[in-house]
Amino acid sequence: MPQSNTQNKKRSAEDAFGERPAKMESPFMPMFEGFKSELDEHHDRRERIIKASRDITATSKKIIFGLQRVRNMKQPIPGAITKSNQPLWDLISKAYSSISTDLQGLNTYRYSKQITGGTQEFMEALSFQHYLEAQSLVSLQEASRSTADLGGPNNPILLSEADYLLGVFDMTGELMRFAITVMATSGEVPSAKLEVEGEQSHRNVLTDLRDVRDFLKAVDVPHYSSLNKDMNKKMEVLETCVVKVENALYGLTVRGAERPKGWLPDEKMVGRDEVVGH
Amino acid sequence: MASNTVMVDSSIFEDIQQKIDDDTAFNDELRETVQQLNKQVRSAQAALSQVHAIPRDQLAAHITKTQPLIHAEITTISQLATKASQQPYYKWNHVWTRSVQDACFTILFAHYAASSALLTIEDLGARLSIPVNLKDRDAFHLTIEEYLLALISLIEELARLARNAVTIGDYSRPLEIARFVNNIHAGFQILNLKNDILRRRSDGIKYRLKEVEDVVYDLSLRGLVPKEETKDEEMKT
């Protein structure tokens, strides 16, 4: 009977691996008991951080989504959008403070792989809002101050150079989306219509986008680092973003003159502009 | 409003580049020390691989001869500790953790070969003169994970040793190893491991245990188990 045979085999395996330690306590048990509680503590912390990071990512995405409703730049964010985004910023700050004690001292860098996703997405939202308000790139220092505050008093949250750079890369995708939407709806490339001390500003989203690209391209990272790999991947995306905006602007220049003033494209036209962008 | 006239204040990226360059320089320094350690680990491993071919009565002398090699590893680890403690431990831990695990393995194996005993994590930390499982401050130390991974390497080595001991006529070694591996296996079984390297590597322990028990089975089937060991076993069961 093959069946009873396998059962026998299974039982003998249990003898060998299961029952013997129970009969004769391993002298190493106390040591392993210590390891068990340390590892459990570590895994619990790790899970908490992973969960918070996911929440922060999702909430930051919602904030960015709200900010994409903005149509003008270098102006305060419209009240309605600020109002709907504020609870989201608060949620992020709550998520960070719930784990900020887990990310102090020795553990500051221990879980960077687990938290970086959330922090990058937060950086994306922060730098996008900063751009819309000030038409400039938020500095690492300023952004670090914002993340530090999120942890609550005495438990600053770290913003690494990698978090910053990768967040800025992602933000350029939002600039592209913002530029295309504004061009499609207003027929003009978004730029601040400001005269700075008598001088006409020639900057618009496209020139700004190129600026950021050039600075990011010049960053010299060791080839063996994981940051280098991540940046190379994101640089490809950034290049296509610039091209998409360039193509959209070309379309606007060629056809724009034919459009009557105040004419708005319908859904299909917006879609076509974007296809041209590819 | 000068700050508003440009998109990117160039000092932003100058600062970042400076930080990246500093990190690269520090990383290079660490790597240099780690490469030295790797070389020493290879020498120690080569010397210790003789354990598989040397009869037990000459083993203590051989292990004594390998001590300078192990001492060289320990010296390099303390240099690494001094250097690494200048910066956050977990920012750089990935640079050396593999090499430190390998060095720990050579120390555990040399100790077991000579005395059939296990160095605890505290013993090992004392040998290396570094703290273990540090929690209250940020400095160089030996982590639990590193110790456990070195322990798994030891078990893999002992599974080979059980067979090779038989080849050179040492029939009591496999029984000792079987008991030892069994006890370690029991310890690992109470750990709640997540899907990480420790989990993947510890999954192999049960196969090593089976290999060793097969050797013991082969010996007992042929009546080759030494007398006092048989009595010993009977008393325990």
Q: Among B12, B123, B192, which would you mutate to test the A interface (most chain A Cβ atoms within 10 Å of its Cβ)?
A: B12
Q: Which residues of B touch A27 (CB under 8 A)?
A: 183
User: Measured between beta carbons, which residues in chain B are less than 8 angstroms from residue A140?
Assistant: 12, 15-16
CA dihedral A141, A191, A66, A123 (to 10 degrees): -20
Residue A195, helix vs strand vs coil: strand
> Do the domains B13-142 and B145-237 sit in the same CATH topology, yes or no?
yes
Percent of chain B beyond pLDDT 90? Answer: 91
User: Would you call A140 and B15 a contact, using CB atoms and an 8 Å cutoff?
Assistant: yes
Best of A25, A39, A75, A108 to substitute, by most chain B Cβ atoms within 10 angstroms, is A39
**Nearest residue in B to A47, CA atom:** B194
Distance from the A140 Cα atom to the nearest Cα atom in chain B, whole angstroms: 7
**Residue boundaries of the structural domains of chain A:** 42-277
The 10s digit of each residue's pLDDT in A45-103 is: 999 999 999 999 999 999 999 999 999 988 999 999 999 999 999 999 999 999 999 99
Range with lowest mean pLDDT among A85-94, A196-205, A224-233, B81-90: A196-205
State residue A202's pLDDT score.
75
CA-wise closest residue to A251 among A216, A277, A217: A277
List CB contacts of B106: < 8 A, sequence separation 6 or more.
B41, B44, B45, B48, B69, B70, B73
Contacts of A11 (CB under 8 A, 6+ apart): none
B169 Cα to chain A: minimum distance (Å): 25
A16-30, A55-69, A127-141, A220-234: least confidently modelled range: A16-30
| Topology of the domain covering B13-142 | Methane Monooxygenase Hydroxylase; Chain G, domain 1 (1.20.58)
Distance CA B77, CA B129 (A): 9
CA distance to partner chain A, nearest, from residue B86 (Å): 13
Angle at B199 between CA B193 and CA B202, to 5 degrees: 115
Angle between helices B205-221 and B173-189 (to 10 degrees): 150
Mean pLDDT of B144-172: 97
Best mutation target, A9, A10, A15, A17, to test chain B (most B CBs within 10 A): A17
Q: Does the pLDDT of residue B69 top 60, yes or no?
A: yes
Average the pLDDT over A139-164 and give the result. Answer: 96
- CB–CB contact B13 A40 (8 Å): no
pLDDT of A201 higher than 90: no
In angstroms, rounded to a whole number, what is the distance separating the alpha carbons of residues A126 and A134? Answer: 12
**CATH architecture under which domain B145-237 falls:** Up-down Bundle (1.20)
- pLDDT number for residue A273: 46
Helices (H), B49-143: 56-84, 89-115, 121-128
**CA angle A203-A208-A210, nearest 5°?**
125
**Residue ranges of the alpha helices (H) in chain B?**
10-48, 56-84, 89-115, 121-128, 144-167, 173-189, 197-202, 205-221, 227-236
Segment (H or E) for A46: helix A29-67
pLDDT in tens, B178-189: 999 999 999 999
**Greater model confidence, A273 or A227:** A227
Identity of the residue in B7, B12, B183 whose CB atom sits nearest the CB atom of A203? B7
Higher-confidence residue: A14 or A264? A264
Would you call B88 and A203 a contact, using CB atoms and an 8 Å cutoff? no
Amino acid in position B153: S
A65-69, A182-186, B211-215, range with the lowest pLDDT:
A182-186
What sign does the CA torsion over B197, B203, B208, B211 have?
Answer: negative
Tell me the ipTM for this assembly.
0.91
pLDDT exceeds 50 at position B18: yes
Q: Tell me, what's the pLDDT at B183?
A: 97
Residue among B215, B130, B231, B218 at smallest CA distance from B178: B215
Give residues with Cβ within 8 angstroms of A160, minimum separation 6.
Answer: A112, A116, A119
Which residue in B27, B32, B9, B21 sits closest to A221, CA to CA? B21
Cα B54 off chain centre by: 22
Contacts of B212-215 with C-beta under 8 Å, sequence gap 24+, read B212/B158, B212/B159, B212/B162, B212/B174, B212/B177, B212/B178, B212/B181, B213/A16, B213/B178, B215/B162, B215/B163, B215/B166, B215/B174, B215/B178
Task: Give residues with Cβ within 8 angstroms of B55, minimum separation 6.
Answer: B168, B169, B170
Count of pairs with CB atoms under 8 A, one residue in A, one in B: 133
The answer to whether domain A42-277 has CATH 3.40.50.720 is no
**β-strand pairing of A199-200 with A195-196:** antiparallel
3-state secondary structure of A200: strand
Helix (H) or strand (E) holding A199: strand A199-200
Evaluate if residue A162 carries a pLDDT over 50.
Answer: yes
Domain-by-domain residue ranges, chain B? Answer: 13-142, 145-237
- The CA distance from A114 to the nearest CA of chain B, in Å, is 13
pLDDT in tens, A18-61: 444 444 688 999 999 999 999 999 999 999 999 999 999 999 99
Q: Which helix (H) or strand (E) holds A173?
A: helix A161-186
Which residues contact residue A130 at a Cβ distance below 8 angstroms, ignoring those fewer than 6 apart?
A: A136, A137, A138, A142
**Unique residue bearing structure tokens 């219509």:** A193
DSSP type of residue B132: B
Residue A47, helix vs strand vs coil: helix
Query: From the list B16, B133, B184, which residue is nearest A28 (CB)?
Result: B184
CB A132 within 8 A of CB A76: no
Contact A59, A88 (CB under 8 A): yes
Mean pLDDT value across chain A: 86
User: How many angstroms separate the CA atoms of A251 and A246, rounded?
Assistant: 9
